[in-house]
Amino acid sequence: MAESRATLSNWRTPPFSGWAFHHVRELIPTADIAAGHGGARALDTAPRALDLEGFHGRSASDGFIVVHRGAVVHAHYAQGMGEHDPHILMSVSKAMLGLLASRVPELEPERQIAEYVPEVAATAWRGARVRDVLDMRVGIAFDENYLASAGPIIEYRKATGWNPLAPGETASDLLTFCRQLRAGEGPHGGPVHYVSPNSDLLGIAIERATGRRYAELMSERVWRPAGARTSAYITLDRLGAARAAGGLCATLCDLARVGLWMLATRQAFCEDLERNGDAQAWAAGDMAAYFPRRPMRYRSYWYVLDGAAPLLFGYGIHGQWLFLDRRNELVIAKLSSQALPMDPALIALTLETVERIRAELAA
């Protein structure tokens, strides 16, 4: 069985990922993000036949849910995952971080990140604002190549506790790793340059600004207000720092509940996403090639697809998604165990499928 062979060395690759992605806390230390006591948001059901022929199998869906006007019209589970099983969100964790940051008044977007974390004042983050960090516009030399077998990204994963140490290696941690990134790649505020350590550093800044642990804040200011039914959790480095960039694990239904809460109560945040973010910075950035010929922007760790009804979404490697369509009162969440971290064909397939669902439900 895959679960008996999943290790830190293989847990993100098939066939092990099909089990490991919803059993992460059996491999990596975690902290609970507590749900409320008896206050879960009810999800009505109104099943509807949608044109999803072959989609779930082709895109390795572990879970897929469509919620229209507050009612679940479609839900699908696979790979032994059920509605009560938290699944890793990968970089949809960043979207949750951006949402949390909007609820931390102590974190001021125009202040420099080093004012909150002085240890990075002499690094590539010198002079970078919190807003630059939120929008992935820090001029830092870091290649986020998920298929690399050596180099800084491997050291980064070791620092997060996601990769095993080689014999004789000394364990690092997230802040120590960030302090070692000193090379710049250009001015801050330039093109979107996707660097996951930005998000981990922002998680540390939030803890410094508030004097509270990240998991506690996420519970208090996002998870419980959203009416989550099940406690989520987040992976930790060896010193207890949260992997804010990608380590949050949650159930499919609770991810959808966060989306519904955003539609109902976080209008100002959603409007900021829809109106702001720099289209030119996106087009010149290193993620635009994965979304060709689409009018897009990036803001506070959320992707924005422009149009008459803007589509907001969080995206994570191996096929994790959360979509919000405010105009059509639609939330779609997908959790997956796709083989490749970044698969352009499956990104296109998922976006095309979501657009088709939007059209069907708007009719």
Q: How far apart are CA 277 and CA 262, in angstroms?
A: 19
Which residues are part of the catalytic machinery?
Answer: 91
Cα–Cα–Cα angle for 208, 287, 236, rounded to 5 degrees: 35
Q: How far apart are CA 342 and CA 340, in angstroms?
A: 5
Q: How far apart are CA 208 and CA 114, in angstroms?
A: 11
Q: How far apart are CA 2 and CA 8, in angstroms?
A: 13
Q: For residue 280, what are its two tokens?
A: 């030119």
Q: Where are the beta strands (DSSP E) in the chain?
A: 30-33, 44-45, 61-68, 71-77, 87-88, 232-235, 248-250, 296-299, 302-305, 311-316, 320-325, 330-336
CA distances from 94 to 236, 287, 302, 318 (A): 15, 15, 8, 15
Q: How far apart are CA 296 and CA 310, in angstroms?
A: 10
Q: How far apart are CA 132 and CA 113, in angstroms?
A: 9
CA distances from 242 to 22, 24, 329 (A): 18, 14, 32
Cis status of the peptide bond prior to 15, with omega within 30 of 0: yes
Name 67's Cβ contacts closer than 8 Å, sequence gap at least 6. Answer: 43, 73, 256, 259, 260, 330, 331, 332
Quick one: CA torsion of 125, 194, 100, 324, rounded to 10 degrees? 160
